[in-house]
Every structure is written in structure tokens, then in C-alpha cells.
Structure 1
Amino acid sequence: LIAGGLATTYIALQMVGSGDAWDGLNLLRREVPGHFSMILSKGEMMIPDGAGGTRDAYLDLPGISVLVGGMWITNLSYWGFNQYITQRALAAKSLDEAQKGMIFAGFLKLLMPLIVVIPGIAAYVIVSNGIDTGFIESMKDPVTGLVKSDRAYPTLLQLLPVGLKGLAFAALTAAIVSSLASMANSTSTIFTMDIFNKYIDRDASEAKQVKVGRITALVAFGVASLVAPALGALDQAFQFIQEYTGFISPGVFAIFFFGVFWKKTTSNAALTGAALSIPLSVVLKVVFPALPFIDRMGVVFLILAALMIVISLVEGKGKDHPNSIEITKELFSTSTTFKIGAVLIAGITAALYIVFW
């Protein structure tokens, strides 16, 4: 995947730079300097809306909120409290191995701007400047005839040389299958263990639980198959998924954060957070449609946090909950390798934001 991604970036820059990748990168910086900005202001960048018009990119990346606002909610809820992700660390043979895996993944994540963002900017310039007619035609939706952002990367992958193209698509397919397997495992586990086994059949045998889990996975895939075609009409499916996942993320994050780090949190407070996350998000979306979804997630989290604190203090009369998690410093022990890797990743990330502010 990395080899294919880097090759895709190189080819995209070559197309823009008339055969020279370095000239292509310099041309991108000259032609669309705003696309290299990581902290946007209102009206700074207009992007296609998928319907032939444009929309303000600020709605997706609302300025400083990317650093100190709602972006933390979506990041921490996904990477820290999502079973789909955490089960990979939990499957490690030791704490040290899990930490090494996290650091390795962190360094891989730093390659994303080079592998994903730069080719996207190159595709934008190719379309805007009419550099390659065939490429532009491949990016058009067969139904509407409009150029779609989501078709940029698949079109670029088609430009890879024979052999590398097959290897990249095989790796991509394997990654997708692996992700689907993880999602199916998480979905079936949550339903079987937390719902079926607790509220439907407490005495279910292991064989019955396995069967229920398999049925749950099949139903989940069925629902996904019905929903997936609707995403094809979007200009950027990823942004759509991020926004509507954000209806749930503030509640999930609040529950886990207070449940782990605040001993006074009660189960009713957690239930309130779970129950109100979606309704509050819907109300804010309807009442404040111009509010960026990342900011909306931050606001919903703050409201839920306040409610959970008040409910816990009133219900528990200020005392620690008897089933609270005992946090000790040993739980956060890290190896020297992890510490060095974490400092490097944080430093590189900070440098990227400073340079491309």
C-alpha cells in the first residue's frame, strides 16, 4: 500500500510538472497555495459540493477548532474508544508489543499527507488547468457528468504501471477485507455479549452465542449493502461518514472518558450521555445549520459532560462509585522506545502545523 501510494504521488506530480515530479510539487505550491493550509478561515477555500457548485471548506475544517476543539472528540473516540481499533492492540501478545504497534501506526499515519493529500491536490490542479483530458473524463460521474472528488484517487491508481497496479489493488483489497472483518467482529461481539447475552438469553450456550454473532454480522453486512449505493451520489463520502459518525462520538467519548478517569461517574449519568448524544446533535444541526460539524461535536460533548457531572454528583452524593475503575500509574507505564517514538511523532506533527499553518 505504501509503495503503491508513493508511486501514485510521484505519477500525479509528474503529470502536473510535465514529466518532472519536483517541478510538479513546486507548481502546486504556486498554483494553489491555499490547499496546503492546515488551519482555514471562513471563505479561504471553496471546494466542489458534488452538485456543480462550491462550498466553504471551513465547514469541514473550522480553523483553530481542528487543534483545540471538536477534532479531539472524533480522534480520541475513534482511536481510543472504538473496539474496531482497540481490539488490535488488545490482541497483542504483551503491553510492549501493543505500544510498538501503536508507534508504528503513528509513523505510518504521518505519511498520509504525502500519499493521499498531495495526489488529491494534484488531481485538483489537473482538472482546473485541463492538463489531461482523459484523466478529467475518468473523474466524471457516469450519471451526472460532474467531476467527483471521490473519483480522483481511483483514477490516479489506474495510472500505475502494470504489476505495481495489481500489487496496489491487491493490497488495498486485503486492507478492506481486514477492516470489514474487524468491523464484523466488533458488531457481532457488542450485540451478542452486551445485548443478547444480558437481556435476551442469559443462559445461552457458547455455540448459540457464536451462531447469534454470525447472524448479527450477516445482518450488518446486509444493512451496509443497502446503504452503500446511496453514498455513491456524494461528492466526498468520507466527509459524510465523519459528520454522521459525529452524532455518536461525543456520547461515546464522554462515557468512556468519565467512566475511566472519574470515579464518581454513575451508570445513569453514562446512560444519559448515550441517550442524548444523537438527539442533541440533530437539534444543533437543525437550529444551527451553519455550525461546522466538528464544532457541533465539541458543543455536544461539553453539554453531555456537564450533565454527566451534575447527575453523578447528585446521585452519588459526591462519593466514589463502588464499581469505579482504579487507576494506577503502572497502567500508563511505557517503554523507552515508546517514549522516543511518541516525542518524534508529536514533534513532526507540530512541525507540519507550524509550517503549513
Structure 2
Amino acid sequence: MNLSALDFVIFIGYCVLIIVIGILVSREKKGHTKNSTDYFLASKALPWWAIGASLIASNISAEQFIGMSGSGFAIGLGIASYEFMAAITLLLVAKYFLPIYIKEGIFTMPQFLKLRYDDRIRTSLAIFWIMLYIFVNLTTVLYLSALALSVVLDISTIQAMIGLAAVAVAYSIYGGLKAVAWTDVVQVIFLVLGGMITTVLALDAVSGGNGAIAGFSQLLEQVPQKFDMILDESNPFYKDLPGMTVLFGGMWIANISYWGFNQYIIQRALAAKSVKEVQWGLSFAAFLKLLIPLVVVLPGIAAFALDANISRYDEAYPWLLSNIVPTGIKGLAFAALIAAALSSLSSMMNSTATIFTLDIYKAHLKPDANEKQLVTVGRLVSLVAIIIACIVAEPLLGGEEQIFQFIQKYTGYVSPGIMVLFVFGLFWKKTTSNAALATAIASVPFSIIVDLVFPAMPFLDQMGVVFLLLTTLIIVYSLFENKVKGTVPENYVRIEKHLFKTDTIFNVAAMFIVLVTAAIYIIFW
């Protein structure tokens, strides 16, 4: 695909705009030196709409635009369950998890584990998350985005990754979360509008120029199998989305683990002005989540109906950009894709730096580090993380057919353990530190064993089995320790009655989102 001069101007102009905005919002008032709260939590001053926009911009990256469109091409609308279930999960996190986090005054998820359990859990999970962000999250976003960028600009994947990394570094490393969050507000606008334009044009192409609505109707008639939200066992992709498990099984574990206990997601919420602001922000993000399948899944289905000439599923979205989007709009559509990549890259870099700086460097390497040193270390870690991701991305992911499914499966090895640690840490005062450590250690081995013993079992079902095993482990171990010691741990979370109260605006928004989600499943059952 070749961009016209106008497309190039739009695309390059967008990159320059993001860098300029990131630098401008990063400036501090005269006489104020940026401290760790400024750098890692945006001075705790984010309003609800910035939180919601930043959450979606950080979440929707190339793995959705390219990876989920590829899964839309292969599987169909069913893959959108990850988005629809996420909308409900965001409401649960807003009501039941974040009020506790904000009450405890934490900066990082490992810090909560230290407060609830001990430093062993904090350090081991901190190291794990750093490795996950660098070798899974950063690498997949870089690689999938570079895949599209290389097709558009006719450059190598390595060159494309270096270019993306350079832009992300240019605006995010200096300003920290403040630069990331405020540029995300701009990026989510480009992401949604630019993505919608591609969807409308793809549907119009399906209808032969009779409009997007006619194109959608034709999709329903031409490829009805691509609109099954719940797959049956005869479907060749049943192992990826195993029927009712989507609604009542392992997908909840994946979603709650991601949205409730994930540093680069929760970090935005921790930067809120108040609990009310964060709950409004998450309900806004939940609403946007309902729109995302229109942007990232429908194009893949349209590409399938158009008999896209591709060699692998993840080429569906780049094929649309190349063959369907006209000159003058390609730059905007491509800017939407790059917006998704840049927002996720900058978010992951910042969260990796936050965990390393506060949970490794300050906690163990230099406890007396001053604010200036913490900010400097954070910037250096961000830079090192993106450099490592550039080096390992292609060797790790070059042979994968559906990278979105690759991400879900291998993060699923740890999601059940993380969920058990946090849910029992938050809501069961009898949970002991030793039981939590045993659960953390057992998480990956249990997942591997279940995978080996039941290789034909869908990975979402495997996650459910592992969750039950780990739940049994943490309960039995904790009760045994409590009986031996004769007491329960003193560092349990004190939950007050008023903590989970929500206002009318949040309640109305939550009801609307639940009803819309239910309607979607009823219509496309």
C-alpha cells in the first residue's frame, strides 16, 4: 500500500501533534520539580473523562486492530466477547475493587500485595509483571503495529518497530503518566473515529457501494456463521471460544485479572481526583468498550466476505487499509492504528518503570532514594524496556497465525493465580501470606500440568480448572495455618459498609451497559 502525499502529511502531522501535546502537558509550574506522584500518578489530578479515554486508548492497541480483526476474519463476532465481557468487568472493578485501592493509598499492584501479605509476594509478582510487560505486551504491540507500518511504508518490520519506539519515547519518557494520559485523550478520538471510517468503508465495499447499513445486512446474509456469539463444538474455532464458557467460565478470569489487577490499567484509575471520578471514568470506558467491536471485529468479517487475498489472518486489517480505504483517508485511518499502538506502548513503558522503580529499586536497591532519583530511574527503565522489546519482538512472534489468541493463552497461564491472590486478599481476612506465596508459585506449574493432561481442552476451560485448583490450595493452606497459630492474619483489608456505595449517575450508566450487553447476546446467540 502506498500513501499519497496528503496521507503522509496527515500521518506525520498526527505523530508531531502527539509529541507536541505530550511535551506541553509534561511541563511543571515554575519552581516545582517533578516528583514520583507527578511522574507515576499524574499528580492524582485526572478527571473522569480523561481516565476513561486513557483506559481505552491504552487497552486498544495493534493486538485489537490487527490481532482481533484477524480473529474476526477467522472466528467472527464471537471474538468480541472479550470486549463485551470487559464492559461488565469494568463496572465490577469500579464498584468493588478501586474504592479499596484508593483507600489504601497505593501506587502499584505489588505494593498492595506487600500491604496485604508480605514482601516476598510483592517482589516475586513485581518481577513477573515486569517480564510480562516487556516480553509479551510490549513485544506484541510493537510487532503487530510494525507489521502494518511496514506494509504501508514499504520498510522492514525492524525499521518500523524502531520508528514506533522512537515516537513513543519522544513524548512519554519525560512526562510520565501525565503525558501518557492526556495524549491518550487525543488518541482515543483518532482511534475511534479513524477506526469507524475504515469500518464504514469496508461495509460499503461489501454492499458494492450501497452504504454501510446495506453492507452490514449483506454480511448477515452472506456469512451468518460469522455472527455466532456462542460457538458450538462443530465450529473449527471452538477451542478458542468454548461455548457457554464465554459467559460463565474462564473468560471472567481473564477479564477480571486484566482489568482489576493489571498495573498499566489500574494506574490510570489510581491517578483519579476521587472515588466518584474513577467510577464515572470506568463507566465511560465500559461504554466505549461496547463500541470497540465495530472498529476492530467488523472489519475482519468484512475482509472475509470480500475474499481478501491474505496469507495469514492478521493481515486482514492491513489488507483493508491497502485495498478499501481511498487516498486522503488512508492517512487518518492509519493514524488511528498508530494512535492505538503509541498509547499502549507508552502506557506499558510507564507501568514497567513504575513497578521497577517503586517495588524493586526503592524497596530493595536504594530505600533512601530521593524524588529526583526515582523519576530518573523511571525514565531509564522505560527506555531500556522498549529497547529490549524491539530486539526480541520478531523472534518471538514472527511465526504466529493469530497473535491475539497467542496473548490470551499464555497470559492465561498466570491469570488464575493473580485473580486468586487478589480476590482472597481483598475479601477473605483468613488468607495467609504463606498460602498466597504457595498459590503464586503453583500458578504456572498448575497451568502447564492441566495443559499437558487435557491438551484438547479449550484454554479458557483450562483457566477455570486451574482457578478452582488454586482456590482450593489457598483456602486449605490458610485454614491449616490459622488452626495451627490459633489466630487469623492481622493485615487483612478493613472493609467499611459505605465503601461500595455508588451514586445515581454511575448506577444508571451501569444499568444501561448491562442491558445493551444482554441485548447483543440475545440477538446474536
Report the TM-score, using the length of structure 2 for normalisation.
Answer: 0.60
- Does the residue aligned with 2:297 lie in a helix, a strand or coil? helix
Q: Which amino acid aligns with 2:472?
A: A
Q: Partner residue of 2:251?
A: 71
Identify the range of structure 1 (267-276 vs 193-202) with the bigger mean alpha-carbon deviation: 193-202
Deviation at 1:119, TM superposition (A): 1.4
Aligned residue-pair number: 330
* Aligned position for 1:276: 442
**Greater alpha carbon shift after TM alignment, 90-99 vs 259-268:** 90-99
The correspondence of residues 1-357 of structure 1 with structure 2, limited to 5 A, is 1-20=191-210, 21-44=212-235, 56-127=236-307, 136=309, 140=310, 147-158=311-322, 159-229=324-394, 230-317=396-483, 319-357=487-525
What is the deviation of 1:200? 3.4
Query: What secondary structure, in the 3-state scheme, does the structure 1 residue paired with 2:488 have?
Result: coil
Q: Distance in 2 between matches of 1:276 and 1:214?
A: 33
Once the two structures are superposed, residues 15-57 of structure 1 have per-residue CA deviations (whole angstroms, 9 ceiling, x without a partner) of 222112333222221222121011111122xxxxxxxxxxx21
**Percentage of matched positions with identical amino acids:** 55
Q: Which runs of 5+ in 1 are unaligned?
A: 45-55, 128-134, 141-146
CA 1:30–1:175 in structure 2 vs 1: closer, same or farther (change >3 Å)? closer
CA distance in 2, matches of 1:157, 1:91: 36
The residue identity in structure 1 corresponding to 2:464 is: G
Supply the AA of the counterpart residue of 1:27.
Q
Higher relative contact order (CA 8 A, sep 6+): 2
2:393 and 2:361 map into 1 onto residues whose CA distance is 27
In terms of mean alpha carbon deviation, does 278-287 or 347-356 score higher?
A: 278-287
Aligned equivalents of 2:487, 2:248: Cα separation in 1: 31
**Unmatched segments (≥5 aa) in structure 2:** 1-190
Q: Quick one: which amino acid aligns to residue 245 of structure 1?
A: T
> 3-state DSSP class of the match of 2:306?
helix
CA distances 1:189-220 after superposition (whole Å, capped 9, x unpaired): 22232233333343344444444433433332
Higher mean C-alpha deviation, range 19-28 or range 97-106: 19-28
Specify whether residues 42 and 340 from structure 1 end up closer, same or farther in structure 2 by C-alpha distance, changes over 3 A only.
same
> Distance in 1 between the 2:398 and 2:306 partners?
23
Q: Confirm or deny: 8 A CA contact 1:4 1:165 kept in the other structure.
A: no
1:36-95 CA distance string (max 9 Å, x none): 011111122xxxxxxxxxxx2111101100001000000001111111111111112222
Conserved? CA contact 1:251–1:273, under 8 Å: yes
Q: Which amino acid aligns with 2:317?
A: Y
Q: Would the aligned equivalents of 2:356 and 2:381 in 1 still touch at CA under 8 Å?
A: yes
Q: Which residue of 2 aligns with 1:51?
A: none
Q: Tell me which moved more, 162-171 or 258-267.
A: 162-171
Partner Cα distance (2:193, 2:346) in 1: 24
Q: Aligned equivalents of 1:149 and 1:83: distance in 2?
A: 30
Residues in 2 aligned to 1:180 and 1:2: alpha-carbon distance in whole angstroms: 18
AA aligned to 1:322 is E
Q: Secondary structure at the match of 1:218?
A: helix
Q: 1:333 to 1:157 in 2, by over 3 A?
A: farther
Provide Cα deviations, 1:268-317, integer angstroms capped at 9, x if missing partner: 11111211111111122222211111111111111111101111111122
Aligned AA (2:448):
V
Q: Specify which structure has the higher proportion of helix.
A: 2
Distance 1:94 1:176 in 2: 29
Secondary structure at the aligned position of 2:238 is classed as helix
| Range 172-181 or range 290-299, more displaced | 172-181
1:353 positional shift: 0.9
Alpha-carbon distance in 2 for matches of 1:282, 1:248:
10
Moved more, 213-222 or 113-122: 213-222
TM-score of the pair, normalised by structure 1: 0.87
SS at match of 1:23: helix
Whichever residue aligns with residue 333 of structure 2, its letter is A
Contact 2:197 2:333 in 1 (8 A): no
Shift of 1:257: 0.6
Structure 2 CA distance, aligned partners of 1:275 and 1:356?
A: 41
**Which deviates the most, 66-75 or 29-38?**
29-38
Question: Cα distance, 1:332 vs. partner?
Answer: 1.4
CA contact (8 A) 1:8 1:157 kept: yes
SS state at 1:93 partner = coil
